Chain A
Amino acid sequence: MIRASGLTKSYKAVQALAGLDLAVPEGKVLALLGPNGAGKTTAVRCLTTLLKPDSGSATVAGIDVLADPAGARAKIGLSGQYAAVDEHLTGYENLVMVGRLYHLGKARAQARARELLERFDLTEAGDRPSKTYSGGMRRRLDLAGALVAEPPVLILDEPTTGLDVRSRQQMWDVIRELVASGATLLLTTQYLEEADRLADDIVVIDHGRAIAHGTADELKATTGGERIEVVLADVEDREAAVRTLAEVAVGDVRVSDNGRELSAAVSGRGAGHLLHVLQGFERDSVTVLDVGLRRPTLDDVFLSITGHAAEEAATTTGTDAPADTQEVAR
């Protein structure tokens, strides 16, 4: 449904895209995961006809975005990184305007605007200028704008960045509903957790190219998945603690130099393993200062794929050749 191959785009000094390939089958969700400056927004802008790539090609719903941009736009709902709403217009007026520019006709555009305000919990605020909206409300209004014409393909650039926990949860719910109703979706994010929750498939990008591709589980597997981390109150308990951790660990139990911080990679249901570990500690009277389950972050994935951390990667542009795309555990 969405297909890009060999997209490149350079700005004066930076190569924002360096031959990006991706494909999203109909009805699926692809997350484009990458740190600041990886090229996510540039990729989104190329796919949505806002930017002409230097080379490469892309099709959306079978339409070549370079040859027929207007046709492609009719198939795409875009919600960009920064909310594209008119601040002087009310939420309602914003949506009606978008509907009319999609040529729905005035009556249809008005009905659709009310429908969407209702759906995005904006009915009450709908008749206020959007200037008065909170960041989360503006984001929702922007997404509503993308949905006005019920496009089969949705492209969302960092839909939850800057939102609080509750708004993020709401946004996730909305996105899940959209997918359930059959939309094909491409979203970008900086959070592995978000990609994990929403996407069927994840492409990790850095320096404008895909450096890894797989499901969330496959990617996490490259980092050893979730880890149980323990800080002991007393070094004396180390042996007992390591023994218990070893029962659930995948691979070795790591012990810090001071001998009090232990960590073990686990697979599958981390919470179950954690319970098992805690019961073992209770049995052996091991006292802990801290114990927890840590999910791998984008940083961990980065570290394991590229051998260096994301921030570091972002500042060494051009000095080290980007790693080749790696098909993870296929």
Chain B
Amino acid sequence: MSTAVQALTDGWVVAQRNLIKIKRVPEVLVFVLISPIMFVLLFAFVFGGAIDPPGSVNYKEWLIAGIFAQTVVFGATFTGAGLAEDMQKGIIDRFRSLPMSGSAVLVGRTTSDVVYNILSLIIMALTGLLVGWRIREGIVDAILGFALLLLFAYAVSWVMAFVGMLVPSVEVINNASFIVIMPLTFVSNAFVPTESFDGVLRTIVEWNPVSTLTQSSRELFGNTGGFSPTDAWSMQNPVLYTLIWVAIILVVFAPLAVRQYRLTTSK
């Protein structure tokens, strides 16, 4: 078996193990699913009237894509925390004593976290529909929109996998990811239109992949209200630009995480 194929098949076995845990400890799932609902409702009703998005779109509808983006990116915290927890458990020794792929534990965790993200996207979409969000482009575009969100989230979960290997402590991971992801999602167009930022901050917003991810989703769901994005290349080609980021993150962080896993476990 080639190493890549083995990493995937072994990773899938580990992913199934992680998914069984969802079944056994459903409480975890409740938290995973309640926070997106809360986000949608909070933003829709608290900020709903306060901010005026560009064009003719209403803010609630415009906002949903931003909440989708923020939530799936935050979801990566689970990857880091889950792995950090794994590293402290005896089962890691069993995994390490098996002739299995050295990256299977990481592949398994990042894969099973896609399931979390799918569930939370479904819940958010339903909540969104209830508060007035609508998909205004074709269904194919909408599916592409969700796929892009999942893909980007998958890439970010490799970053957190790396962090999880670096500091194997659940508390540290939670705080670390807050410190990194919070600014990343707030200095973006997820909740506030790009136009309302000035100078350097605006440039950062325009080139922040969370902005382009949000912009892509808005375009694919048809929630832009017909308003064109700013002139930056990234905002003009948000899907392509986001995909480039996905590729870069995966190429850099997947090998880093795997290397760190080996280092951490052979101490």
Partner-B contacts on A (CB < 8 A) = 48-52, 70-71, 73-74, 76, 78, 80, 82-89, 93, 97-98, 100-103, 129, 142, 145-146
B residues within 8 A CB of A73?
A: 97-99
Task: Compute how far the CA of A51 lies from the CA of B91 in the bound complex, rounded to whole angstroms.
Answer: 16
Question: Do A85 and B97 touch (CB < 8 A)?
Answer: no
B residues within 8 A CB of A83?
A: 90
Question: Do A101 and B95 touch (CB < 8 A)?
Answer: yes
Q: Which 3 A-B pairs give the minimum distances between C-beta atoms? A: A84-B94, A78-B97, A74-B99
Q: Nearest Cβ distance between residue B244 and chain A, in whole angstroms?
A: 35
Question: Do A50 and B90 touch (CB < 8 A)?
Answer: no
Given known pairs A50-B266, A97-B17, the reply for A129 and B97 (CB within 8 Å) is no
Query: Is B35 at the interface (CB under 8 A from chain A)?
Result: no
Q: Nearest Cβ distance between residue A183 and chain B, in whole angstroms?
A: 16
Query: Is B219 at the interface (CB under 8 A from chain A)?
Result: no
Q: Nearest Cβ distance between residue A212 and chain B, in whole angstroms?
A: 29
Per a CB cutoff under 8 Å, which of B90, B98, B265, B266 touches A101?
Answer: B98
Question: Do B94 and A50 touch (CB < 8 A)?
Answer: no
Task: Compute how far the CA of A71 lies from the CA of B98 in the bound complex, rounded to whole angstroms.
Answer: 10
A residues within 8 A CB of B97?
A: 48-50, 73, 76, 78, 80, 84, 146
Query: Is B96 at the interface (CB under 8 A from chain A)?
Result: yes
User: Which single residue of chain A is at the shortest CB-CB distance from B96?
Assistant: A50
Given known pairs A50-B266, A73-B99, A86-B17, the reply for A101 and B93 (CB within 8 Å) is no
CB within 8 Å of A: which B210-253 residues: none
CB within 8 Å of A: which B83-97 residues: 89-97
30 contacts between A and B (CB under 8 A): A49-B97, A50-B93, A50-B96, A50-B97, A50-B266, A51-B266, A51-B267, A52-B266, A70-B99, A71-B99, A73-B98, A73-B99, A78-B97, A80-B90, A82-B90, A84-B91, A84-B92, A84-B97, A85-B90, A86-B17, A88-B20, A88-B24, A89-B20, A98-B94, A101-B95, A101-B98, A101-B99, A101-B104, A102-B98, A103-B99
User: Which single residue of chain B is at the shortest CB-CB distance from A69?
Assistant: B99
Q: Nearest Cβ distance between residue A10 and chain B, in whole angstroms?
A: 12
Residues of B in contact, count (CB < 8 Å): 26
A residues within 8 A CB of B100?
A: 101-102
User: Which single residue of chain A is at the shortest CB-CB distance from B93?
Assistant: A84
Task: Compute how far the CA of A135 lies from the CA of B266 in the bound complex, rounded to whole angstroms.
Answer: 27
Q: Nearest Cβ distance between residue B71 and chain A, in whole angstroms?
A: 25
Known: A97-B13, A97-B17. 18 other contacts (CB 8 A): A49-B97, A51-B266, A51-B267, A52-B266, A73-B99, A78-B97, A80-B93, A83-B90, A84-B93, A84-B94, A85-B90, A88-B20, A88-B24, A101-B14, A101-B95, A103-B99, A142-B94, A146-B97
User: Which single residue of chain A is at the shortest CB-CB distance from B104?
Assistant: A101
User: Which single residue of chain B is at the shortest CB-CB distance from A45?
Assistant: B93
Query: Is B21 at the interface (CB under 8 A from chain A)?
Result: yes
CB within 8 Å of A: which B58-97 residues: 89-97
Query: Is B10 at the interface (CB under 8 A from chain A)?
Result: yes
A residues within 8 A CB of B46?
A: none
Task: Compute how far the CA of A98 lies from the CA of B95 in the bound complex, rounded to whole angstroms.
Answer: 8
CB within 8 Å of A: which B1-52 residues: 1, 10, 13-14, 16-17, 20-21, 24-25
A residues within 8 A CB of B89?
A: 86-87
Task: Compute how far the CA of A103 lies from the CA of B12 in the bound complex, rounded to whole angstroms.
Answer: 12
Q: Nearest Cβ distance between residue B156 and chain A, in whole angstroms?
A: 25
Task: Compute how far the CA of A111 lies from the CA of B93 in the bound complex, rounded to whole angstroms.
Answer: 24
Per a CB cutoff under 8 Å, which of A93, A102, A146 touches B20?
Answer: A93
Given known pairs A49-B97, A70-B99, A101-B104, the reply for A88 and B13 (CB within 8 Å) is no
B residues within 8 A CB of A145?
A: 94
User: Which single residue of chain A is at the shortest CB-CB distance from B86?
Assistant: A86
Q: Nearest Cβ distance between residue A148 and chain B, in whole angstroms?
A: 9
Question: Do B98 and A98 touch (CB < 8 A)?
Answer: yes
Task: Compute how far the CA of A261 lies from the CA of B139 in the bound complex, rounded to whole angstroms.
Answer: 93
Q: Nearest Cβ distance between residue A52 and chain B, in whole angstroms?
A: 5
B residues within 8 A CB of A71?
A: 99
Task: Compute how far the CA of A51 lies from the CA of B93 in the bound complex, rounded to whole angstroms.
Answer: 11
A residues within 8 A CB of B98?
A: 73, 98, 101-102
Per a CB cutoff under 8 Å, which of A49, A74, A86 touches B91?
Answer: A86
Q: Nearest Cβ distance between residue B87 and chain A, in whole angstroms?
A: 13
A residues within 8 A CB of B13?
A: 97, 100-101
A residues within 8 A CB of B16?
A: 97
